[in-house]
Structure formats: C-alpha cells, structure tokens
Amino acid sequence: MFTDTLAATIRGIGAMIVHVETDIANGLPVFNIVGSAGTEVKEAKDRVRSALKNNGINIPPSRITVNLSPGGLRKDTTAFDLPICIGMLTAMEYLPAKCTEGILFLGEIGLGGEIRTVRGVLPAVMEAVKEGIRECIVPTDNASEGSIVPGIKVRGASDLRSVISYLINKDESVLPATHTDLQGVFEIGGVTAPDFNEVRGQERAKKAAVISAAGFHSLLMTGPPGAGKSMIARRIPGIMPPLTLAESLELTSIYSVAGKMPKGKALICNRSFQAPHHTITSNALVGGGPVPMPGIISLAHRSVLFLDELPEFGRDAIESLRQPLEEKRISISRVKYSVEYPADFLLICAMNPCPCGYFPDRNRCRCSEHEISRYLGKISGPILDRIDLCTELKPVGISDMTGERNGLGTSEMAEMVQRAREMQSKRYKGTRYRFNADLKADDLEEVCRLGIRESEMMKKLYMELSLSARSYHRILRVSRTIADIEGVPDIGCRHILEAAAFRPDLDYFRL
C-alpha cells in the first residue's frame, strides 16, 4: 500500500514541505529510504523499527520503500522519524487511510517510542501555514515555539502511543492544541543587562557605546587589563531598544534552526550577547560544517557580538567577518546546495595595546617593539576599515573608585539611544536603510548634508589625516549619529570633530 505523509526540512532559516511517500510491497525484506537523505535521516529506519517493536507493533517482512520528495533537496534532520513512522503505520493499515491528510508531522523518535525535541519547528510551522496545512503534530517541548504561529493547530506529543490514539479516534483531549498568545509572550521580554552605573569613570568609552548602539556602528576598545572593556561591552545590550516583534520572530527562527531554543520557550524576546572564546574556528563563528548550521554571528543577529582579546582570534576567523559586516548576511555553499543566514550584528571588540597589556607604560611593559608590532599586525587593515569607532580606555584612577557615582547610567544612555533611533526611524521610513551605519556612499550627501563651515572642516580633515574614501564616509555616518543623539537635524562642526576623534588610528596598528 502507498501513503503520503507531510513533513518539512530546514532550508537556511526557512523550511520546505517534504512529502514522505511510503510503499510496502511483497518481496525480500528490506527497508530503504531514498530522496537525498542524509545520515540522520537514513538512521531513522532503525529508530522507527525499534520504537514500533517496543510498542507491540510488528513490521511485516516486506519490501519497504520511503521516498522523500522532492528528491533533489538534501534532508538532514531527525525530524523525519515521526512522519516516516506514521507513513509506515498507514501503509500497514494500522491507521485509517485518510487520518493523516492535512497534518504536518515533526519529531525524533526514541527506541521506546518517546518523541523528542527537534530543531527548526518554528520555520516549519510558518511554511505549513503558507501551504494551507491546517494541523501540525510536534514534540511537546517544541509545542510552545510552534504555537505562536496563527492560522494552524499545533499539538504537542510526548510519545508515539498518544499520536496513534489521536489519529485513530480524533480525540482532542489526547493531543490538545497548544495556544500561545504571541503578543502576550512578546511583552514578557525585558532588558536583563547589568547597569552602566557600575562602571567607574571611562565616560568617553560610555559615549562611544552610546554612539555605537544608536547608529549600529562597530566599536573597538583598547586599553590595559582591568580598565573596564568587558564591563562596558556586556552592558551595551541594555541600552539598545527592545526587539520589535518582527525582529523577535526572526531571531527565534535562527535559534530554532540552530537547535538553541530554551526548553519550553516560545519566543526569544531579548537581544542576545554572544561572546565566543578566542579559540573559536571560522566555521563555528560564521556557520557551516558538513550540515550547514547558523554560526555565532547569526545567533548575534540584531544583537551584540563581542570579540574579547581580538588579536588572539585566529586570522581566518577574523577575516571571515568581512562579508557579513558589509552585506549583513552570510552565504554558505556546498557542492549540491547553498544556504544563506542573516548576520546583521553589532560588532564590539576589545584588545590590549600589547601582549602583556601595559604599553606604552614602559615601567610595566616588557614587550619588545617587534612583539608589539606582530601583536597589532594580527588585525588587518580591511577589518579595521570596517570598524566605525575606536576608543582607548585609561586605567581607572583612585578618585573614580572612591568618589560618588555621577557618570552616565543605563537609563540615561538608553534615552539617548532611543532618541537617535526615533530620528533614524523617521528618516529612513520606506527606504532600504534602518541605521546610519547602513548608509551607502551614494546616499550620504543627501542624508548628511553639510553647511559651508562643515564642508571646509571635512576637506581639512581629509587632507591632514590622509583619509581614505571609506574613512571619510565613516566620519560622516558617525557625525550623523552624534547629531541624532543630540536631537538636532543638521550636522555641526562639533559633531564632525567628535566623530573624527573616534576614528580608528591605522598608524597605531602599523607600529
């Protein structure tokens, strides 16, 4: 008997519907799974066979063929276990012939019949709605995630027996539909980052953090150990505006595909803070592997990616950031297919001025000029040219440690960022841009109009600082953000000078 059961496979951060066609015929006993099935999918036959046996269901000694259509699409997920199992039971006439019509099945099956969590449920359910599918059965732990999608009934199942009972009797009390109020879940999200009030001194670095968060400008902080670089970086998500619903859904899709969704959680409501160790490989950072998966930079989408001790990262890992910093996405290609993941992240970097961390204090620094030059040389010019802001942190003085806390705090900094974001939202409504950092050169003159004095100042800076075209444009973009923070419509000379003061000093890295 031939049956057709609906499943889905991950494609980037989206999904595609797959038809699991099952045929049981007379012949030598064999169980074949065809249709570009990966290793995880091919192993399903052993899991399904054992699960059915341990639930008192014997598979007949027949020729079993399972075809995953479309055949040219690579499938690599254990989520095919449940649809394959249900397809076999229907083909064996253990289940009614039409009981699976219009139902999408997703789930990994344990040897005892348990249905275990899988990745990619949210994009699969979203695709099912587009295809007009009315019902979806997923693992219980994934039910909350899938139920935020309107227009479809999502039922969570913990074991194979409950799925079989529901399909035979259509008793909704066996597998009740999970209902999640999307807006209600989204409103639960809140800022959990620590407060900037805990950072003593370093007001210049705090201002750089505000500019970075306001215009989505990448930031590099240099300074000796203990100056507060990591403290400042970890507090930046707290001054960024909350995720919008669209951003939250997009980030949740990435986490779902990567298999990083917290158990029982329906939605990622807070911006993430990704701080990988410097030993991370380029594949782990940007994504990839034999079965392409989102990397750390995609998990930092709409959020913060913090690279502490930047020169200690592998050169391949650092250079792999070039494309996503420019294009806000990462493309991963394999022989038979390619995928694309979003990677619109805020890059925050920190580094010491030398291997020991105390240059130029020669009373403490024991590094030779060659060692310092080699250390700084690990950061290439093309990467530095993509960093909009650079600030140096000095050691914290005793007066800052023992005096009253009167510097910028998170609430005040968040208000500054919000004011700038609102101006950008109005300015770029209906355009391809979201932030000042996104501005392309052909639109800079329109958005960053300069008066006569400002134009003369930019010309003078261009000549005296030997700016490149990219550096020139970077100063204009940062100036626009500083003006937005102040809530003024026009860029002034003081904004240009402040932006120029925050530019990365390429000569410093050529010591």
pLDDT digits (tens, 9 = 90+) for 256-306: 999 998 887 888 988 999 999 999 999 899 987 777 889 999 999 999 999
- pTM here? 0.89
pLDDT at 480 (0 to 100): 96
Show Cβ contacts of residue 204 under 8 Å, excluding neighbours closer than 6 positions: 391
d(CA 229, CA 308): 9
pLDDT for the residue numbered 511: 47
* C-alpha dist (Å) from residue 254 to 222, 349, 498: 32, 23, 37
φ, ψ for residue 68, nearest 5 deg: -100, 105
pLDDT at residue 336 in the model: 66
Query: What is the pLDDT averaged over residues 157-183?
Result: 91
DSSP letters spanning 168-204: HH--TTTSPBP---HHHHHHH----SPPGGGS-S-HH
- DSSP type of residue 334: -
Please report which confidence band the pLDDT of residue 401 belongs to, taking 50, 70 and 90 as the band edges. Answer: low
Q: How far is 494 from 482, CA to CA, in rounded Å? A: 9
323 in Cβ contact with 285 (< 8 Å):
no
Residue 119 has pLDDT above 60, yes or no: yes
In this prediction, residue 481 has a pLDDT band, given cuts at 50, 70 and 90, of very high
Q: Check residue 191 and give its pLDDT.
A: 53
Burial of 131 (0-12, 13-18, 19+ CB in 10 A): exposed
Pinpoint the residues of the chain covered by CATH 3.40.50.300.
183-399
Residues spanned by CATH 3.30.230.10 within the chain? 2-180
* Structural contact between residues 286 and 248, judged by C-beta atoms closer than 8 angstroms: no
- pLDDT tops 60 at residue 508: no
Average pLDDT over residues 453-468: 90
Paired tokens of 22: 């099952």
Q: Does domain 2-180 have CATH number 3.40.50.2020?
A: no
What pLDDT is recorded for position 363?
A: 82
pLDDT in tens, 54-104: 999 988 889 999 999 998 888 889 999 999 999 999 999 999 988 999 999
Contact criterion met (CB below 8 Å) for 83 and 5: yes
Q: What is the pLDDT of residue 60?
A: 87
pLDDT over 90, % of the chain: 60
CB 209 within 8 Å of CB 235: yes
CATH architecture of the domain formed by 183-399: 3-Layer(aba) Sandwich (3.40)
